[in-house]
Amino acid sequence: MSTSTPIRLGTRRSALAQAQSGQVADALSAVLGHPVELVPITSEGDTNRASLSQIGGQGVFATRLREALLAGECDFLVHSLKDLPTAQPEGLVIAATPRREDPRDVVITRGGTPLHELHTGATVGTGAPRRIAQVHRRAPHAEVVDIRGNVDSRLARVASGELDAVILAAAGLSRLGADTPLHREELGLGEWPTAPGQGALAVETTTDAPDWLLAGLAQLDDLPTRIAVTIEREILAGLDAGCQAPMAAHAEVTGDEVRVRAVVYQPEGDRRIGIDVTEALNGEYIRRNGSGNGADAADDADPMPTAVRIGRSAAHRLLELGAADLLPRE
């Protein structure tokens, strides 16, 4: 491939999608010495303004992009990992999971009142069933308003007084470089775990992509992130629940161990079922290989099978505790 021929990166048209895709494009260009151009693609989730809980979260942002990739309209894709269905389509592969951004949620308010202290009837904007269930627990006297829209429009609804608060992903604010005079409350993962894959990106290409492209993408991979999100997505898959299920899962790799927190929430009510466990990983493999080796992790000591086992075990434990009774089926 000529060094002057751009590599085509398929991305959604939103400002956030293009910001995070631009970061990946710059990183890959630095690795391979090729220019990378963004190819904007409109997904169903961008055109259908209905609530995500109504149209279903499974693939509404990813399907059209994947069709474009398989049709040869682009060479690879960048997704927000939390928006991807857990089933991997035939012919496609997640070639890299770059280092994860802050996975927490944040509450944005005008005056800095903590979420749990909002007055009775205060309006909190969010469209995610998981966040809705968490708001009901943290601020039971508040009113949840189902909203869609980009980050700027959500911030504007708080600034104007239309809403008292909105809940956003810290990673999205960081990637956009959003600067606002509004107040920000970070929600700790211990009491407010977030969606599987939140804060992480998935770099996807075809299984028959050129070796040089696969090798270049592999250098963007971060092994601890890949381990963590694999566990989280295995929990989601094991529960047989979609991306919009009222559940949270967060895994954090520290040295040779991984801590896993997962919670399933009753959509309307106070019930929740959760686990908090710490499991051992193959620390020698992690120390030897570090980050940036996703495509080369074919080793007897590869920690990924262990990550899959941990995720499936966590899902099984949740189901034993009765999680299936709280989850809608897609």
Query: Considering only CA atoms, which of 81, 1, 58, 73 is closest in space to residue 34?
Result: 1
Cα–Cα distance, 61 to 315 (Å, whole number): 25
Query: How far does the chain reach from its first CA to its final CA, in angstroms?
Result: 43
CA 267 to chain centre: 20
Q: Which of 8, 12, 64, 131 is the catalytic position? A: 131
Verify whether residue 105 is a known catalytic residue: no
- Considering just the CA atoms, what is the radius of gyration of the chain in Å? 20
What are the residues whose beta carbons fall under 8 Å from the beta carbon of 329, sequence distance 6 or more?
Answer: 240, 241
Q: Which of 130, 157, 175, 261 is the catalytic position? A: 130
Query: Considering only CA atoms, which of 132, 168, 130 is closest in space to residue 152?
Result: 168
Q: Which of 110, 148, 184, 272 is the catalytic position? A: 148
Q: Which of 74, 104, 222, 243 is the catalytic position? A: 243
Q: Which of 75, 83, 105, 222 is the catalytic position? A: 83
Q: Which of 66, 100, 104, 154 is the catalytic position? A: 154
CB atoms within 10 A of CB 6: 16
| Start-end of H helices in the chain | 15-32, 44-47, 52-55, 63-70, 129-138, 151-159, 170-176, 211-218, 223-238, 283-289, 304-320
Verify whether residue 82 is a known catalytic residue: yes
Q: Which of 66, 82, 100, 261 is the catalytic position? A: 82
Which tokens in the block code for residue 251?
Answer: 């895994």
Verify whether residue 49 is a known catalytic residue: no
Block residue for tokens 């290989």: 289
Verify whether residue 299 is a known catalytic residue: no
Verify whether residue 110 is a known catalytic residue: no
Verify whether residue 12 is a known catalytic residue: no
CB atoms within 10 A of CB 138: 18
- Angle (CA) 245-251-253 rounded to 5° is 165
Cα–Cα distance, 260 to 184 (Å, whole number): 26
Verify whether residue 131 is a known catalytic residue: yes
Where in the sequence numbering do the catalytic residues fall?
82-83, 130-131, 148, 154, 243
